[in-house]
Structure formats: structure tokens, C-alpha cells
Amino acid sequence: MLQEVGDDAMHRLRLTSNLEDLCSADIIVEAIVESEDIKKKLFKDLDGIAKSSAILASNTSSISITRLASATRRPSQVIGMHFMNPPPIMKLVEIIRGADTSEETFLATKVLAERFGKTTVCSQDYAGFVVNRILMPMINEAFHTLYTGVATKEDIDSGMKHGTNHPMGPLELADLIGLDVCLSVMKVLHEGLGDSKYAPCPLLVQYVDAGRLGRKRGVGVYDYREATQKLSPRL
């Protein structure tokens, strides 16, 4: 039965690279690069393409929904719909209301997330929202702990997994998320909240400058290249 449900869902999926194909959508969820300028450009374009009743949602992990909504003529229909990574496994969707997000938009988005089988939490539109406001400073502090030589990366991650019952250590998680994304969120927190405690760790900045972005690049805090090579077929 589950296989049939999955197959049916796959048959209903349609891939496209043409924004114009979204003209009949009831809700559009944006999940592009974590850049306010690029997201605003996309929201402006979508505003001109989507039908007047459509909801425009952003999967941003830190950028102001109010500012994204300002790029459109429908701020009451713009909302944050932040899926935790990786979305097929993680149960949470964080819903963020902008300054002008309507109650109707909020309720429709919440119902949709729950139809996906997700648990929802609601956040006001402040830097980092709920999850990243708490998570990213923890990851940043893990980098400080490594940077100052308090412990090895392995012991930092093992300590947090076995000492606080986290499924992954903070440095492993940073590699999974992407160090560039972590740095971007820390910059948003630092600028948006104006507190020095949110300043990105110099080691995190250095890794990103070096292109050590995590699993997607094969190297971050940890080096994944050897494991990848072992899995690759020999020609």
C-alpha cells in the first residue's frame, strides 16, 4: 500500500525550469540560495507570474520574511515555511509570519505542512527565528571550542552526542548543513540582533574562505573525500 502511495505521488510530480509554469499554483515554496537580494528578485518575479490568490512561501533559515514580502504587491500572502534539513526525515516545519502576513495565509500554510505529516512551530519575524536562533550559536561555539584547542573535533561531537543526546555532533551537523550556510546565518544574527555574541568564529570564516563547505564539497570540518573514493566504482 505504501509503495502504491509513493508511486502515485511520483507520477503527479512535474519538473520544470520555467517560472511561467507556476502560474496556476496555489502555493509556491522558494528554496534557493540563502541571499536576500537573490530571493527578493525571485519573489518580485513570482509576484508577476503567480495568480492573485497564490501564497508565496520562503524556506529561508534566517532572512526577514517582512523584507522578502516588500518585493511583492501581496505582503499579506508571503510567509516563511522553513523545512528542517533533511526534509524527508526531519519532522519540523517552522512557520514565520511577516509583519503583514494574514491569518488566512498562516492557517493555510499550517494545514499544508500538517498534511505533509509535519509538526509545526510558529515564530515571529526576528533574525534566526526559533531554531537557528538557538542552533547556530551552538554550532558557532563548537567552532570556538575547536579554534581555541579545548578539544578535538571528534571529542566535541562525541561529547554533545553522548552528553546531551543529540543525534549528531554540532560540527558534523555544520558539515551536513553547509559551512557557508552556517556562516550566512551567523552574519544575519550578528547584524540583525546587534550583539557581539553572534559574531562568527574566525575558524568558521576561514573554512568557508578556503572552500571547505562541508559534505557538498567533500571537505569541511571533516574530510569525506577518502570515503567517497572508496565508494566509487573502479573503471
**Active site amino acids:** 82
Listed residue (100, 130, 124, 105) closest to 28, CA to CA: 105
Q: Are 180 and 207 in contact (CB under 8 A)?
A: no
The span from the CA of 95 to the CA of 82, in Å, is 6
